[in-house]
Amino acid sequence: MKAILSLGLIGLALSFCNISERLKGLSGSAESNTSSASNSSKASKTETDVEKPRLTSEQQSIADAAAETKWDEQGISWKLPAGWKKMDVKKETFNYSSPDLAFLLVNISPMSPDFPVDSSTQAYYDQALQQLKNGKYENVRYLEIDGVKGVEWTEAMPEEKDGARRHQWMGYRNYLGQTQLLNVMLSTKGTNFEKHRDDFPAIMYSMKIPKG
């Protein structure tokens, strides 16, 4: 079973292998995107449009039955359904998987003290909106989880139905004097996504994020 899980993780990891570069590239371009983001006010939401998680009754039942799992190095925790197991946990990465190869993949990227958090968050939102228009995402919104504002989206079914399909949230927190980008992905292959459609929000919205 461990071999099967490892193979599954490696397969998905190949599709995520450029995540660090993509994060750094997006983060590095946040300032240059500020002016274009400010000019897209027709498509962009304001602070008053930031939503908070609302679980359906089914999602709440999943959360109520789940067990809290803490990332000791970062203090963050999630409630994971029975059967989810640790794959790899380090200082800046946290990876768990379900028996049928759904994954919780978390990455933390430290930023400089003067990093433009607001303009970067706006840039992520605008880029996600463009993907929504292109049919790559099925929804996009500003979402505040445990007091941290971020951008949430769900990918549409990939063209290759066995390809990865993700429910993702990205936001910034200040923790122990450091600005950090939190990139939280719940993923499985497209043909397995509907089975986990309620699991993924239940896990994502259970996240507790220490700050300060």
Predicted pLDDT at 212: 87
Distance of CA 212 to the CA centre of its chain: 21
Residue 95 near residue 9, CB atoms below 8 Å: yes
Band of residue 17 on the pLDDT scale cut at 50, 70, 90 = very low
pLDDT of 140 strictly over 60: yes
- Residues ≥6 apart with Cβ < 8 Å to 142: 45, 49, 50, 51, 125, 149, 150, 151, 152
- Residues ≥6 apart with Cβ < 8 Å to 191: 161, 162
Q: What is the pTM of this model?
A: 0.80
Residues 2-204: name the CATH superfamily. Mog1/PsbP, alpha/beta/alpha sandwich (3.40.1000.10)
CA distance 165 to 193: 7
3-state secondary structure of 204: helix
pLDDT of 29 strictly over 50: no
Predicted pLDDT at 43: 43
CA distance 22 to 162: 23
Q: What percent of the chain has pLDDT over 90?
A: 76
The per-residue pLDDT for range 153-192, each reduced to its tens digit, is 999 999 999 999 999 999 999 999 999 999 999 999 999 9
Predicted pLDDT at 14: 40
pLDDT of 45 strictly over 90: no
Predicted pLDDT at 193: 98
Alpha helix segments (H runs only) across 29-177? 30-38, 57-65, 117-133
The per-residue pLDDT for range 55-105, each reduced to its tens digit, is 999 999 999 999 999 999 999 999 999 999 999 999 999 999 999 999 999
- Residues ≥6 apart with Cβ < 8 Å to 85: 5, 96, 97
CA distance 163 to 149: 29
CA distance 57 to 63: 10
* The two structure tokens encoding residue 201: 């929000």
**Domain map of the chain by residue range?**
2-204
